[in-house]
Amino acid sequence: MTDISVEVCGLRLRNPTMLASGVLDETARSMLAVAKSGAGAIVTKSIGIEPRSGHPNPSVVELEDGLLNAMGLPNPGIDLFSKEVKEARKGGVPIIGSVFGGTEEEIAELAGMMAEAGADAVELNLSCPHAKGYGAELGSSPERVETSCRLAKRACGVPVFAKLTPNTSYIAELAKAAERGGADAVVAINTLKGMAIDPEAGMPILGNRFGGLSGPAIKPVGIRCVYEIYESVEIPVIGVGGVTTGRDAVEYIMAGAQAVQLGTAVWIRGEKVFREVCREISQFMKENGYDSVKEMLGVAHSGRH
């Protein structure tokens, strides 16, 4: 019998899927629905100190192979969101609180507040490509990534995950910096900076002009990043970017990811995608002689033994 449960930084997941930050995760009601749908864990909306309205519409463009979004980190602020975290924990799956900030100190303060709200782990959003002052400025510097992780670890007593940007040529160096700072795991990747133009209007479609590309189009980039990071650090890697099927998840796991996050797939296919992906992972394991997810972890680096 195949076992698709996994453990990440002491968190026991019934399966290796997580809801990625930014989809169906701003209210307890939506997070509880996702938990019921079969997700192994839930990552919340990225939350800041104060309420934020985000960028003007249009803020999302649907493409043939993914989504381009420039939401601009809209959120209700940590004070209001804390009660959503407390309620969402009733779903019986780990809740990972995503936070963002303009400085290392601010993101550390938020990490502590998210942990106090009851989050089982905290994900530091160090990589948003479309919110000026949040993400790229912190997440593109190994020194600032290291400091952010170190301060966040001091501020909270739960595992800290560093979500990294692919919009550099040195993501493995960022992962090593996160590890030096005490991060318990790294998450790769956030969206790729992109743009879409309306030819008839002769202007950018997004209100912010630039946005973050997600979905199947970025899966090869995500897998490559996970593969490189796995060879560079000792801490766990969580893969995200274009996971739509069980086979996609298996690719990430074989590249070195202990778990995978789904975002665009949920937007497109709905909450049922978690059960479908898990069923497909289990079926792949049965057909190829794997008894546990752990047996598949990182096999692409040396071949199956």
The CATH number of the domain where 260 resides is what?
Answer: 3.20.20.70
Residue 150 falls inside a structural domain: yes
pLDDT at 133: 65
Calculate the CA dihedral of residues 156, 182, 229, 119 and round it to 10 degrees.
-10
Q: Please write the tens of the pLDDT for every residue from 118-161.
A: 999 999 999 877 667 666 678 889 999 999 999 999 999 999 99
pLDDT at 140: 86
Residue 196 falls inside a structural domain: no
Domain count, the chain: 1
pLDDT at 304: 64
pLDDT at 130: 67
pLDDT at 192: 95
Contacts of 302 (CB under 8 A, 6+ apart): none
Residue 43 falls inside a structural domain: yes
pLDDT at 124: 97
Residue 266 falls inside a structural domain: yes
Catalytic position from the list 128, 156, 225, 278:
128
pLDDT at 134: 65
Q: CB of 212 within 8 A of CB of 136?
A: no
Segments of the chain with pLDDT less than 50? none
Pairing of strands 192-195, 210-214: antiparallel
pLDDT at 135: 62
Residue 151 falls inside a structural domain: yes
User: How many Å separate Cα 121 from the centre of its chain?
Assistant: 12
Residue 207 falls inside a structural domain: no
Residue 116 falls inside a structural domain: yes
> For this structure, is 9 an active site residue?
no
Residue 68 falls inside a structural domain: no
Range of the domain at 286: 6-54+73-191+215-301
